[in-house]
Each structure stands twice: as C-alpha cells, then as structure tokens.
Structure 1
C-alpha cells in the first residue's frame, strides 16, 4: 500500500473512513473505489480556513518540497506573538490575543517575500497573501469570522466569495472548501487530476479545469470526492505521469488499465501527448 501524500495536500486532520465499493454508478466512481483499495480512505475538514488558504497559495506553481518549508517559515514568523505556536484553531488563537489574518494583513511585503522564498514566485505570492489577509479582516473581522463563514455558509456562496479574492483560483477555493470546510461533493482539480481525468476519458479531451471538476463532481458521490482528489494526485505521481504513464510498460503495470481510455497514449509507438492534442491530430 502506498503512502499518503505530504501533509500540505491532505491535511493532518484527515479522518479514516470506509466508503462503500462495488456496483459503482459511473466509471469515475469505479476508479475512485479502486484507488480506495490501492491507497487509503479518508474524509477531510477541520483545518483553519485562513491557514488553508495561505497554504494553498504557497503551493501554486510549485512542489510540496518547496512549499512546505515556506509554510513552516511563515507560521514560525507570523503564527503567534511572543514565539508561541498556533493551535490550528482560530478561536483559540484569537483568545490568546493573536489572529493570523491580522498579522499577515500588517506584514511588510519584502519581509514576507523573504520568508516564503522557497515556494517560488515569492513576490507575487506575498502580495496575494497580504491582500487576502486584508480583505478577510475587512469583511469577516479576521480568521475566526472567515473560518466560520467557510464552515457554515452554503458551499456555492463560499466558493464565489473565495474566487473574488485576488490570487484565488478554482483549485485554491476548492481546497479551502475541502480541507477547512470538510464539504462533500468538492473535487479540487490540480495538474494531475486534470491530466488523468481527460486521459481516462472522464471529461472531454480538451476540457479545462472547471469542466473536469464539473464532470467529476457529477460522477463521483459527494463523500468520495475529497479522497478521490488526494488519491488521484498520488496515482498521478506514481503511475499516470505526464510523460511516461505506467501503461507504456504493459497492461499489468497499471492497476487501473481496464478502466482507462488512454486518450493521447500510443502504447504501440510508446508515445504520449496531451489529450487535447489528439483532437488537433484528428482534425488534421
């Protein structure tokens, strides 16, 4: 059994769960069920919403190896006054006289940029984090109010509000909904999920990230979506890579071979193209 992804993907508050498998209603659900046998079954939620937002911004366009040290350094510098440690509960931290959103709203951009430099694009990310913190302090009164909003308000309203924050795209908004809000039916789409869903044929070959998300959330039961997201990322790293998916080594090399359309994969010629490029080839 493979290991679970890094903490900043699944969160350390994930809870073990047991989902019903078998008799899947769609092929996408069947794949998620198979991933449940291959990896783990978890449910998510309980992370501080603002910290989840910051963590996801740091992870944009970079690897976990780079973004995790940036997150740790940010929390060490801004997490608690007086050198204390943040509890992960915004209400407890606020009771102790500290609010992470307030601390970052007042941060000097050059200092924050230096702090998160390992994450790459640190000037842009520091600007986005400070802007988001200021917006959250203005509209929700700080991390506590924002956390309550994410957990309690309708997911559609939360997603719309998140997307209205500069620097927050669909994947970032969905990760906050999943890892902080614990919302069922949320299937964030990152690079791995986008590639795999189109390669397997769950969404059109030229589908953008939002279209892929719509197909997956329609075809996978709500309680399996969060787990499906993290497990598909792991599968993309271990088996269904961009340049050399396991199926090029033969059907037996990929545990999901029989459930996959392999769009863009030429097993005989041992070549791989982006699924969208197959449409261009067909038209040519």
Structure 2
C-alpha cells in the first residue's frame, strides 16, 4: 500500500530490532504460521487500521492491476483536486467522469476506475451519509457484513474488500490475497495448486492466527518482490539464496531445467 516503514519493528526480526513478538517458526501450530513467523525475521510488522475507510477504498481501487509506482501519483493527483474541502465523498460523487479519468490516468484503466469511483461515492453518500458514516461502518460493523457490503460495490473484489477491512478497519484474521500471495502460497504447498484467490484466503485465514494475518499479507508481498518472483524465484539458480527454502515445496519450480510454471500447471 506504499506505507513507510514504522519507527520500530515489532515482529522481532533481527534486521529491525524492536520488541520481541510471537514470531517463532519452531513453535508454530501450522506450516502457514511457520512461514509467517519466518517472514517475521525478515520484515517489519506494520500497524493496521486507522485509515479513513473511503479514502482507503479509493486508494485500493486505484492500485488494481497496476503497481504502487503508478497508482501513488494517481492517488496524489486525486487528493489534490478533490479533497481540498475535506469532503472527498461529495466531491467525487459530483465529479465529472472525464475530468476524474484524466486526473487518475497514471493508474491505468482510468476510464473504468473513474466510473466506478464516482458510482461508489454516490452510494456511500446515499447509504451512509458520507465519509464519517462509512468509516464508522467499516471500523465497527460486523466484519462479514462489511465485507459483503463492500463486495456489492461494482469494481470491488475480495482483495480490495479485505484491504479495506485490514488497513482501515484494523480487523484481525483478514489475509488479503493478491497475485504474490496467491503464487507463493501454492508454490510453497500451503494451499492446493489449483486453488483460486478465495480458496487460498480461506486456507491462510484458517491456518494463521488472527493477529498475524495482516503482517503475513504485507510481508508475503515483500517476499514475492524480493525473492519469490513469478518468473525467476531466487531458488531457481541457488537453493540457498531463499531464506524460506526450508519451508517451501517448490511447486512448479524446476532448478535442473530452469523452468518455472504456475503451480496449477506443475507436473507431479
């Protein structure tokens, strides 16, 4: 989500110091928890919750099918143009679609995203009275109901809804699944090779303690960028190059031939 690192590492990792947290692979109850605990030795644990619900929703929509590098300028431009008076819902509900599309063009799919953002802003204003009412619902509503309501918005899928629950609502037990999490979880053997995003989420949320799910999401994304990429994971050339090698089944990764395939296409 483009956040800066927190001031102190509360995951207990050697690289960050900070206070010790319950991230010990040796005492983990499941393989998935052991992986998250191992990630706790590599990355900083973020703090979760506290973001404005509607702003978080808009930011996440902008990030769909694009990188943080592309979506961040789009978000900044949107905020500069539409959030001057502190009423982003009203400004976007009344926005000219073409003008909004031009404003967020850096994010890609800007015509589609602008239409969806305006429609969502209109619904938020009508159903929740604006930003404050929507924010209260996201933070205090029953999580399943919040998720269902978010999924009812056109353009909001499971990952977007879960990110709002995590980063705005601060809800435990929420493990958003993006392309990195989907790939890594199946490659490691933590979920069936043919599992879709929702099935992966169900496996992870059942196997990882609620208080570790948020960290697992952000850390697994970072791990995917640095070590376990789609086309050239670190283990392909050097098994010792991956800090999580002991936890991984390498499904779909064939160092002998240099081939990497989607886990669902892996041979037995």
Partner of 2:23: 21
Partner of 1:79: 83
Is structure 2 residue 140 aligned with structure 1 residue 152?
A: yes
Alignment of 1:184-223 (within 5 A): 184-223=172-211
Structure-2 separation of matches of 1:145 and 1:190:
28
Structure 1 stretches of at least 4 aligned residues deviating more than 4 Å after TM superposition: 9-16
Q: 1:45 to 1:12 in 2, by over 3 A?
A: farther
Q: Which runs of 5+ in 1 are unaligned?
A: 1-7, 82-97
Partner of 1:227: 215
Q: Which runs of 5+ in 2 are unaligned?
A: 12-20
Q: 1:265 to 1:190 in 2, by over 3 A?
A: same
Partner of 1:171: 159
Shift, 1:42, TM fit: 2.5
- Quick check: 1:10–1:44 contact (8 Å CA) kept in 2? no
Q: For this pair of structures, how many residues does the alignment match?
A: 257
Shift, 1:17, TM fit: 3.3
Higher relative contact order (Cα pairs below 8 Å, separated by 6+ residues): 1
Partner of 1:44: 48
Structure-1 separation of matches of 2:5 and 2:98:
30
Which one of 254, 257, 264 corresponds to residue 269 of structure 1?
257
Is structure 2 residue 247 aligned with structure 1 residue 247?
A: no
Q: CA RMSD in A?
A: 1.5
Q: 1:165 to 1:75 in 2, by over 3 A?
A: same
Alignment of 1:104-183 (within 5 A): 104-183=92-171
Report Cα offsets for 1:50-95 as digits up to 9, x if no partner.
Answer: 00000000000001110000000000000123xxxxxxxxxxxxxx
